Every structure is written in structure tokens, then in C-alpha cells.
Chain A
Amino acid sequence: MANVNVKPLEAVFWLCTLLPFVLAPNYLSLASQIAITALFALSLDLILGYAGIVSLGHAAFFGTGAYAAGLLAKHYWTEPLSGLLIAALSAGLTGYAMSHIVVRFRHLALIMLTLGLGLLVHEAANSASALTGGADGLQGFRVPSVLGFGFDLYGRTAYAYALVVLFLCFLISRRIIHSPFGLALRGIRENATRMPAIGAPSRAHLRKVYTIAALMAGIAGALLTHTTSTVSLEVLSFGRSADVLVILILGGAGRLYGGIIGAIVYMVARDQFSGINPQYWYFWIGLLLVAVVLFLPNGILGGLSRFSRRRT
């Protein structure tokens, strides 16, 4: 438990997340998008970075959370915190159900299955258009306020809301990965046959972390619903699963800050590039991916830590 103490750099980082309020008030809606994406990437990091479960369908949980929050706000009540809870529970339940399938496979079959399950949920939402609005998405509701703070035009409340939720989820993830359970997960990632041999219930562990990750992805999805007041079918798409994978790999999988750094770099770059040429944005993402795989196998953070180790 040596790493649990807060390092000064971490405190500085979280203080810096408050800077957009002062320095870039016009970019607060982008900042809240970044916080939501970072939370989504953090949830993927728990299963991919720490437990070694490659997933090409993580958007299934993000979308489940987004739709749960949207349906609740549209048909019942618009209080967001209970919405977050219900969205997290429904995504977590979906994740728990899928975890029984997912943990039994590895390698290519795992990749294909997560892809298939993700597409299945996407198609289900598309077909059930009476409930989800199909390709038109879910509209016609508005979440007015959270804890008495109204959502304003500049996105101040939205960013504060997303940031606080991200921070809390980050603390929970940090606690998880520094616990004996987190250590067991890394053991499973490194050697899936040895861990059961020394008495770790590896499938139960994997199911647990998969459910936790799904819960967290659901919270991220619900945040998106609450801050944008729409749900489009895109929240379940393969593109979103691929994007979050790219973000995590770019930042550095298996590191707590990997997803967050990746989300900042990716979203800011997308914001800048799509100003020039939205259609060709994916060219640069593709180039970036190829470069990261070939030259920066541990992402930006991995590259930085190697660089700093070499210096000292």
C-alpha cells in the first residue's frame, strides 16, 4: 500500500482542472465533454489496463447509462443524482450479465465477442424505436439543475458537475487498484493460469471488475445525457468504443491518469482540427494510432516516465 499517498504532482494536476473556470470560460462545454470522456476512459482502463480484458464494445455500458438517464428524465423525474444512480445500476446490471460471457474467453474470441455484444446492444436500441426513439434519438426533456445549481448557458454547472463526479470515481478507482483486489487483477493480467493456481478466484475477480467498469461507464453516459439533454444512438456506436480505446492507448493503459491525459489531448486536438476540416479528422487519429503502436507502446504517460527515468 506504499503508493496510496497523494503525490504533490497529483494535487497540482487536480488543481489545474479548475483552471478552465478562470482561463477559458468559453471552452467550459468542451471541458465537461473532456471530463465525461476521461471518466469513460478510466472505466475502460480498469478492465483493459489492469485486468487485461480487451474490449471493442465498451460503449454498450456508456449507452445503457445514457439511455437509462434519458428515459428517466423524460418519463419520470429530472433530479440528476438519483438519475446517475439508476443509470449506474442499469449499466452495472448489463455489465454483470455480460461478464459471465466475457470472462470465459481470451484473445481473438474475446475481441470478437465484445464487438458482437456491443453491436447487439446498438441494434437492439435501434430496433426498439418506440422506447429509444431509434435513429432520431431521445429528445424533449431537460434537466434543469443539480443540487439547486441551474445548468447555465456557459456550462459552468455542467463542468463542475462532471468534474466532481470524475474526481469521486477517480478516487474509488485509485482505492481499488491499490487494494489487494487490484493487485490480484494485475496478477491475472500477467499470468492467467498461475493466479488460480495460487488460490485467487480469477473469474470471480474478473466478473467483479467488469461490473465495476460497466457501472462507471454508465455514470459517464448519464453525465453526457444530463449535460446535453439529448441521447443519440451514437452513444452505443462502434465508433465510440473505438474512440475510447484510442484515447486510453494514447494516454497510456494501465496507468490511472492514462485515460484522463488521453482524453484531454484527444478532445482538444479534435476541437482544433475539426475547426479546419472535420471530415479528415480521422486521418490524423489513424496516423496517431499507428505512431503510438510503433513508437510509444505505453502511451504518452509511458513515454514520459521512460524519458524522465533516462534523465535522472
Chain B
Amino acid sequence: MLSSLAGVLFDGFAYGMLLFLLSVGLTVTLGMMNFVNLAHCSFAMVGGYTTVSLMNQLGWPFLATLPAAFITAGILSIFLERTLYRRLYRASDLDQCLLTIGIVFISIAAFAWFYGTEQQSARVPSYLRGSLELMGMSFAAYRLFLIVVGLAITGILIVSLEHTRFGARVRAAVDNQRMARGLGIDVERTFMLTFALGGGLAGLGGALAIEVVGLDPTFALGYLVYVLIVVAVGGLGSIGGSFAAAVVLGISDMAGKYYFPWLGAFLIYLVMVALLMWRPLGLFGKR
């Protein structure tokens, strides 16, 4: 019982890290720039398919494809930001929602066209496949890897958004565009880079998710809900909040699947609705 509990906690924490990696980009764009980007998981899907293509067709090693997934998704989000999103920064929530749902539909059909609808796989290298024995319990190496990457990204983001000049510029541009312009901050460029960062992180999350949850064209809709829950529950724009929300969600989802399998995802949605009713701005929301 105790060891199964520890196993559930470990798996749930690793799963939470994965959810965090998938959603932290949205925390940045939705939370800081107030853009309702429902197409976030489409960027994740782009990252995932980049990894699959590079590994299976060009024979790249897994670790080398991760930066490529980040960069591809980042470049794509710069392109979309320049052509579509920037026109809607001041539009209503509904318009932003609709535009990005449109992009989700397009991406699903496009990937189904190029890759087919079957599950894709990317074999991770052997040193990530086994498991580590520690104190009589075994920890899957890939999950440890996920946890390490998740913690590293959290650290980098908190430092770069809260303690660097770039982070200060982003926050200034979001809080008061006119004032920021007056101070000589290039708001357009800052927004573009923020968007690229958000999209790129999604791409990285998508690439890392293949091993755990698989990849097919419906990924863009299937994981959207989880990502939105993390961002909304954690509090918009709060990286620490998203981290906490992702961990709670990951562990409770794993525990739900393990102890109450008949409930399905019901528990997760119930928790989400209850939390949103209790604190509409999220657990750590400030505004």
C-alpha cells in the first residue's frame, strides 16, 4: 500500500512536470499578454511531429531533436503572431477563442493529411528507457528525466522573467503599453519574442510527451483541456502557480486512475470547476 502510494506520487509528479512543460508557454502568453490562445497544444503538436520526423526519417538522436522542436514551434508561433494574432490583441475574448479554435482545426486536419491519424512513436535512447533502483523501489528513468527537465525550465523561467531586463520589459509592456513605448521599449518586438518563447516551450513539451502519452493529430484538442486547467487554476501569469497546479493535477489524475478508475476524468473536471468557483483568478492569481 505504502509503496504503491509512493509510486503513484512519483508517477503523478512526473506527469505533472509534463503537464507543466506543456502549459507553461500558455501561462506566459495567456497570463502575461492576455491572449486566449486555444491553439497552444497545436504548437506542442508541431514540436512532437518535428521530433518524430527528425528521429525516424533523418536518424537524429532524441536529445538533439528537443532543441529542434523548441525552435520549430517557436518560429511557427512568430509567423502566426505576425500574420494573425497581432491583429486580435485588442479584440474580445470570443474573437480570440474563435480564431485559435480555427487554427486548432486546421492543424488537426493538416497533420492528419501529412502523417495519417495513427499513433506516432519515437524510441527514446536506451539510457532513458530502464529504471533506477533506489531504497527498494524502482523509478523509471524517463520520468526522472522529465522531472529534471521540468525543474530546470521552472528555474530558468522564474529567473529570466522576474530577474532580467527582458522579463522587466515584458511585464512593463503588458501592464501599460503606452507607458512602455514612452520609455523606449520596443513593445511589438517584446510581444513577438514572448510569443515565440511560449510557442517554443509548448513544442518542447510536445516532444517530451510522445513517450508518455503518444502523439496523434487529436493531441491538439485532447490535451488542451488539461493545459487550460493548469493555467486557469494556477493563476494567470504565475509560473509558480502553474507549477503547483500542474503537480496537483498530475498527482490527482494518476491517483484517480489508480484508485478510482471508474470515475474517469470526472474527478479532474469537478476539481477544476470547484477551484474556479472558489477562486476565479486561480490559486495564485493576483489581478
Residues of A within 8 A of B (CB): 48, 54, 56, 101, 105, 107-109, 111-113, 115-117, 119-120, 123-124, 126-127, 238, 242, 245-246, 249, 279-283, 285-290, 292-294, 297
- Complex Cα spacing A188 to B122, Å: 52
Decide yes or no: A289 and B98 within 8 Å by CB, A54-B93, A116-B273 being known contacts.
yes
| Interfacial chain B residues near A293, Cβ < 8 Å | 88, 91, 95, 98-99, 102
The yes or no answer to B262 lying at the interface (CB within 8 A) is yes
Interface residues of B in 214-234 (CB under 8 A from A): 221, 225, 228-229, 232
- Complex Cα spacing A220 to B214, Å: 37
Between-chain CB contacts (< 8 Å), 14 pairs: A105-B276, A109-B232, A112-B228, A123-B264, A238-B225, A280-B113, A282-B109, A285-B105, A289-B98, A289-B102, A290-B84, A290-B99, A290-B106, A293-B98
Decide yes or no: A242 and B101 within 8 Å by CB, A117-B273, A119-B225, A280-B113 being known contacts.
yes
Extra pairs beyond A113-B276, A238-B225 (17, CB < 8 Å): A48-B94, A54-B93, A108-B93, A108-B236, A116-B269, A126-B266, A242-B101, A279-B117, A280-B112, A283-B113, A285-B105, A286-B101, A286-B102, A287-B106, A289-B105, A293-B88, A293-B99
| Interfacial chain B residues near A279, Cβ < 8 Å | 109, 112, 117
The yes or no answer to B280 lying at the interface (CB within 8 A) is yes
| Interfacial chain A residues near B262, Cβ < 8 Å | 127
| Interfacial chain B residues near A48, Cβ < 8 Å | 94
Q: Chain A: which residue is nearest B265 at the CB level?
A: A123
Query: Is A115's CB under 8 angstroms from B225's CB?
Result: yes
| Interfacial chain A residues near B109, Cβ < 8 Å | 279-283, 286
| Interfacial chain A residues near B98, Cβ < 8 Å | 245-246, 249, 289, 292-293
Q: Chain B: which residue is nearest A107 at the CB level?
A: B93
Interface residues of B in 93-139 (CB under 8 A from A): 93-95, 97-99, 101-110, 112-113, 117
The yes or no answer to B33 lying at the interface (CB within 8 A) is no
- Complex Cα spacing A283 to B106, Å: 4
- Complex Cα spacing A286 to B106, Å: 5
| Interfacial chain B residues near A242, Cβ < 8 Å | 101
Decide yes or no: A294 and B84 within 8 Å by CB, A127-B266, A279-B112, A286-B109 being known contacts.
yes
Nearest CB on A from B163, distance (A) = 28
In-complex Cβ contact of B263 among A127, A290, A294 (8 A): A127
Nearest CB on B from A17, distance (A) = 28
The yes or no answer to B87 lying at the interface (CB within 8 A) is yes
The yes or no answer to B183 lying at the interface (CB within 8 A) is no
